[in-house]
Amino acid sequence: MQTGFSATQLADPDTAHAEQVLRRCVHCGFCTATCPTYVLLGDELDSPRGRIALIKNMLEAGESPSADTVKHIDRCLSCLSCVTTCPSGVDYMHLIDHGRRFVEEHYRRPWGERALRRLLASVLMRPSRFRRALALARLGRSSAPLLPSRLKPLLSLAPVAVPKRSPMDRPQMFLAEGKRRMRVALLPGCAQTVLRPSINEATIRLLCRHGCEVVIPRGASCCGSLVHHLGRQDEALAHARATIDAFERERSERGLDAIVANASGCGTTLKDYGFMLRGDSAYAEQAARVSGLARDVSEVIAALGLRPPSKEGVRLRVAYHSPCSLQHGQRLHKEPKALLAAAGFEAIEVAEGHLCCGSAGTYNLLQPEIADRLRERKLAHIGALEPDCVAAGNIGCIVQLEKGSPAPVLHTVELLDWATGGPPPPALASKIGRRP
């Protein structure tokens, strides 16, 4: 693709990188076949190729983009299926991130959109606020028909009951069982600790059982992913720096073999810290080091080798949903399914596995119509498998799919933990009782 940036524009490192990305696109169209929004809507501007052209024109003009341009950029899920498909190696992830930052800095949204985005940024990443917000959501269900349409998706995705806080979700250390093989730090996350604290609990038990000493460092909480994909760059980098400080302090004091994420969206962001902070002289080296240590939990368990199943009769039929941030963002696709099979489960991949379920961070709250269509498409494929349960490696996918799912939706580590000696997930009680 030819570009027309001025020398002044190219003096900005982000714009210079964007130009390099744009020039790699040859308009081949392979990306259109795997883009969820193009598959659903059939609009060229809702394909990666169309958005690349829109971002090029927007950046070259250097002015406030049109509402139509913003609409099509907002509709991108950042699922990165196009990155996996692209034969030219177009770095679409960083291009769409740059496009979102530009929109945030140069476009004034209607007040309702601004308020909603501000609400999401201020609540979802802070567990105490999020917990209070969910309590209010339960009280507000009866008045849902009277609420503005933009707020209804928040109520529809809110759980009926909020789990109790887990005592494991605070700074502390957990000793390895038997001989220590690794020392790892766990990113506890933000929304996940409120919505499904059992995921961190299962992760810690699983890692310790496989010879890991697990530490939750003081100051480690939110990776900044949610605001990063909202284009709120300053907030995202502030969270990234705080997270880096926490892990680097732990690494320098006691050493770390890996930094573990069990939410694949967070893991993708951790692995991108080196790029995000490449121009920050105070943090560039530390950010690159943290990115180099970052691992998805499935990577760590696969490297250590899963222990033989300790339970008999755990062979349930599991529909495995591969999160976009894991298979496209981190290029990890086979590992979780292989681990489930090694644990004794009948793991079956969901059809159209390359297409997003519609969660995509805050996408299902900002673009509910498209997100609902993608969920229904995914749930139809899951239902066809008649599974005992669904496994996924990202809290966003779990929340998105459990609304209307024909079977319980669990994190992969909850099943692996149970199979190798942990407690059975409560959601599977009826399934376990019926299995030989």
Predicted confidence (pLDDT) per residue in 179-219, tens digit: 999 999 999 999 999 999 999 999 999 999 999 999 999 99
Q: What's the pTM value of the predicted model, to 2 decimals?
A: 0.93
CA dihedral (111, 112, 114, 119) positive or negative: positive
Q: Is 271 inside a domain boundary?
A: yes
User: Who's near 230: CB < 8 A, 6+ residues apart?
Assistant: 100, 104, 117, 120, 121, 362
List of the chain residues with pLDDT < 70: 139-152, 311-314, 433-436
Residues 32 and 90 in one domain: yes
Position 133 scores a pLDDT of: 85
Closest Cα partner for 300 from 210, 202, 398? 210
Contact 81, 356 (CB under 8 A): yes
Residues 146 and 193 in one domain: no
Query: Which residues does residue 317 pair with via DSSP β-bridges, in sequence order?
Result: 346
Position 436 scores a pLDDT of: 42
Q: Is 18 inside a domain boundary?
A: yes
Residues 290 and 358 in one domain: no
Residues 339 and 413 in one domain: yes
278 is written with which tokens? 């490449």
Number of domains in the chain: 4
Domain span at residue 192?
A: 172-301
Q: Is 166 inside a domain boundary?
A: no
234, with CB counted inside 10 A (0-12, 13-18, 19+), is exposed
Q: Is 94 inside a domain boundary?
A: yes
Q: Is 386 inside a domain boundary?
A: yes
Residues 194 and 241 in one domain: yes
Q: Is 1 inside a domain boundary?
A: no
- Alpha-carbon span 366 to 104, nearest angstrom: 15
Contact 242, 219 (CB under 8 A): yes
Helix, strand or coil for residue 212? strand
CB-CB neighbours of 371 under 10 Å: 24
